[in-house]
């Protein structure tokens, strides 16, 4: 049942009531992506639309966020 829904959603036209769109993302480094911590490389963008509801999922093999990088240096204090 799940395989049938996925295959129908992937092959459906874009204006249908139920669609699944999958786009590969090689590198996303635009200014808005960096500001919102969405910069990534080697990932997938998945868009699922069911009537008026729209769900967007993004997966990345390599995250380029500053939060994902851990530093070995202690935090610097001014005093």
What tens digit of pLDDT does each residue of 28-59 get?
776 776 676 667 778 888 999 999 899 988 88
| pLDDT more than 90, % of the chain | 14
Instruction: State pTM to two decimals.
Output: 0.61
Q: Which residue has the higher pLDDT, 63 or 78?
A: 63
The yes-or-no verdict on residue 64 having pLDDT over 80 is: no
Distance separating alpha carbons of residues 55 and 20, to the nearest angstrom: 10
CB 18 within 8 A of CB 49: yes
HSE on the CB side for 63, CA within 13 Å?
A: 11
Residue 10: both structure tokens together = 């992937």
């Amino acid at each position: 049942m799940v395989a049938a829904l996925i295959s129908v959603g992937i092959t459906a036209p874009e204006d249908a009531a139920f669609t699944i769109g999958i786009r590969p993302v090689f590198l996303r480094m635009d200014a808005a992506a960096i500001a919102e911590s969405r910069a990534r490389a080697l990932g997938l963008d998945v868009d699922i639309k069911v009537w008026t509801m729209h769900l967007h999922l993004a997966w990345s093999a390599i995250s380029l966020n500053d939060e994902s990088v851990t530093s070995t240096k202690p935090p610097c204090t001014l005093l």
